[in-house]
Amino acid sequence: MKLLVQSSRSFQSHLAEISEILGQATDSPYQLINDNAALFEIEEDLSEDLKNQFHLKHIDFAILDHYKALNEFSLCVMDMDSTLISIECIDEIADMCGKKEDVALITKSAMMGEIDFSQSLIKRVSLLEGLGEEMLFKVIEERLKFNEGTQAWIEACRKNNVTTVLVSGGFDYFADYVKNKLGIDVAISNQLEIKDKKLTGKVLGRIVNDAVKAQTVREFQAKLNIDKSKTIVIGDGANDLKMLAEAQYSIAYHAKPIVQEKTQFKFNHSDFNGVLNLFKI
């Protein structure tokens, strides 16, 4: 097996502490991938104590049966809010009308899996009734930030013929912007109803919930004639769990605890360049 070790700091700057943590787990020389990541050979899984030590040192790790090339995969499906971008768009919209605290509490409960996502979305959007459409543009202009490394990840997928799909419980106004900026192939999200340039507090059509997200993965697998073994899914919230289960490479990106418990890989300290390091390019 291979152990991928990485963080936001230079690998060489904490090589000593990494070696100390690994102790007798490996005596093999490491293979440097780049300034932030390296591969070690290990004979067996790490103990929970060693895993916890890595976490306390703000070091991400991944245990791989094989270090696969990205071109061995055909599909990557990704969440948007708090995954590709650093914000929850609906919380920022709510801030524009002085209701961020109320909406953010509902968002947090939904992402933790404490309440039903569809009902939470209906409730949150209802609080936005009357807000001017121009405030959506203001959120993009002033608050929407891409997580570091997202552009490099999408470009790598494109170069390796991996179809990229953004599927979000957020809104098309933002999802389409993110799709176009990053060069993602397809974006699927919810549509806010807008009349006379004001939000009505309603969502149009089908709500993109956890079941729809999982269905989207399966539909694209069918279109590409592939299965889980050639699929990558990346998410952070409880409404991503069903779609994460549809991929061999399920990745929790700075995710809620319930998501980290049920995914193959998790990143708590690295940015999206850390996702890229999972694969030979």
CB 1 within 8 A of CB 43: yes
| Any domain includes 168 | no
Sheet with 198-204: strands ordered across: 198-204, 186-195, 163-171, 75-78, 231-235, 249-253, 265-267
User: Residue 128: is its pLDDT beyond 70?
Assistant: yes
Q: Helices 172-182 and 134-142 sit at what angle, rounded to 10 degrees?
A: 40
| Any domain includes 36 | yes
CA distance 199 to 240: 26
- Say which residue, 28 or 129, is predicted with more confidence: 129
| Choice among 45, 49, 60, 81 that is catalytic | 81
| Any domain includes 207 | no
CA distance 246 to 227: 8
CA distance 219 to 186: 13
What 187-196 contacts at long range (C-beta under 8 Å, 24+ apart), as own/partner pairs, is 188/212, 188/216, 189/80, 190/121, 192/125, 192/128, 192/136, 194/133
pTM: 0.93
60 noted as active-site residue:
no
The single-letter code of the amino acid at 123 is K
| Any domain includes 54 | yes
Encoded tokens for 216: 């989207």
User: Residue 260: is its pLDDT beyond 90?
Assistant: yes
Going by the DSSP 8-state scheme, the letter that residue 162 receives in this structure is -
3-state secondary structure of 170: strand
pLDDT in tens, 229-246: 999 999 999 999 999 999
| Any domain includes 19 | yes
| Any domain includes 191 | no
Q: Which residues contact 39 (CB under 8 A, 6 or more apart)?
A: 2, 3, 4, 5, 30, 31, 33, 67
* Mean pLDDT confidence for 116-144: 92
| Any domain includes 23 | yes
Pick left, alpha or beta for residue 236 (phi over 0 → left; psi -120 to 50 → alpha; otherwise beta). Answer: alpha
pLDDT in tens, 46-70: 888 888 988 888 899 999 999 999 9
* pLDDT for position 43: 82
User: Residue 28: is its pLDDT beyond 70?
Assistant: no
Instruction: Find residue 107's DSSP bridge partners.
Output: none
Give first-to-last CA distance, the chain, whole Å: 19
Q: Are strands 265-267 and 37-41 parallel, antiparallel or unpaired?
A: unpaired
Block residue for tokens 């192939």: 185
CA distance 161 to 227: 16
3-state secondary structure of 109: helix
3-state secondary structure of 56: helix
pLDDT in tens, 86-123: 999 999 999 988 888 888 899 888 888 888 889 889 99
Block residue for tokens 């004001």: 198
Q: Domain tally for the chain?
A: 1
CA distance 261 to 101: 28
* Mean pLDDT confidence for 15-38: 80
| Any domain includes 80 | no
| Choice among 27, 35, 49, 79 that is catalytic | 79
* Domain that residue 37 falls in: 1-67
The CATH number linked to 27 is 3.30.70.260
- Dihedral over Cα of 236, 238, 241, 242: its sign: negative
116 noted as active-site residue:
no
User: Residue 27: is its pLDDT beyond 70?
Assistant: no
